[in-house]
């Protein structure tokens, strides 16, 4: 919910207007490792699986409602380093890269909010990955999944904005 929590109400509404809601049955490939993508995706409902070829396509992460998909390739313009497929019936908001890039060029406030949200999301993922790889003293009962108070506020605001987006798109 970082993206929804950091963006302003009208910015989330803009994403809803410029994106396309797409239904995907179970087993649908959203992103193929090594193949370029032209969109950014926001999971509206359902469950997606992230897999990498080097681990025999083993699932390395699950993505649920409110998660952003394709953000790393959006930021660095490289091909995806993982594949993503639906596990259950899912709806995603597909936002074309070209449309989003144009908005970021002309709306500096939106760009600041958007990139701060992506940086926060990626920082959180990196912290979790480092913890799971054994750097430091991570254990199963550590508080790695707990958010500090400012991030709890962001997540709370994000949940409210996400619900509004779902109503705007009539999903859920």
Q: Does residue 18 contact residue 99 with C-beta atoms inside 8 Å?
A: yes
Q: Residue 158 belongs to a domain with what CATH number?
A: 2.60.120.10
With tokens 């500096």, the residue in question is: 108
* Residues in a beta bridge with 91: 23, 45
**What's the structural domain count of the chain?**
1
Dump pLDDT digits (tens) for 100-123. Answer: 999 999 999 999 999 999 999 999
Predicted confidence band of residue 138 (pLDDT cuts 50, 70, 90): very low
pTM of the model: 0.85
**Whole-number Å distance between alpha carbons of 67 and 45:** 10
With tokens 């995806």, the residue in question is: 80
Provide the edge-to-edge strand list for the sheet that holds 29-31. Answer: 29-31, 83-86, 48-52, 58-63
With tokens 């990955």, the residue in question is: 129
Lowest mean pLDDT: which of 72-76, 84-88, 111-115, 128-132? 128-132
pLDDT over threshold 60, residue 139: no
Range of the domain at 11: 2-169
């Amino acid at each position: 919910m970082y993206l929804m929590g950091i963006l302003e109400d009208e910015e989330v509404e803009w994403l809803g207007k410029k994106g396309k809601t797409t239904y995907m049955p179970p087993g649908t490939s959203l992103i193929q490792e090594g193949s370029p993508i032209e969109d950014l995706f926001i999971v509206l409902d359902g469950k997606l699986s992230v897999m990498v070829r080097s681990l025999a396509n083993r699932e390395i992460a699950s993505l649920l409602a409110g998660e952003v998909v394709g953000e790393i390739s959006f930021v660095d313009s490289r091909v995806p380093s993982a594949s993503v497929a639906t596990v259950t019936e899912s709806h995603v908001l597909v936002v074309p890269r070209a449309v989003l890039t144009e908005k970021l060029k002309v709306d500096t406030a939106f760009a600041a909010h958007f990139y701060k949200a992506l940086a926060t999301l990626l920082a959180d993922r990196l912290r979790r990955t480092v913890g799971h790889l054994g750097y430091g003293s991570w254990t199963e009962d550590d508080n790695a999944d707990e958010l500090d108070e400012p991030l709890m506020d962001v997540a709370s605001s994000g949940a409210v904005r996400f619900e509004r987006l779902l109503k705007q798109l009539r999903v859920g």
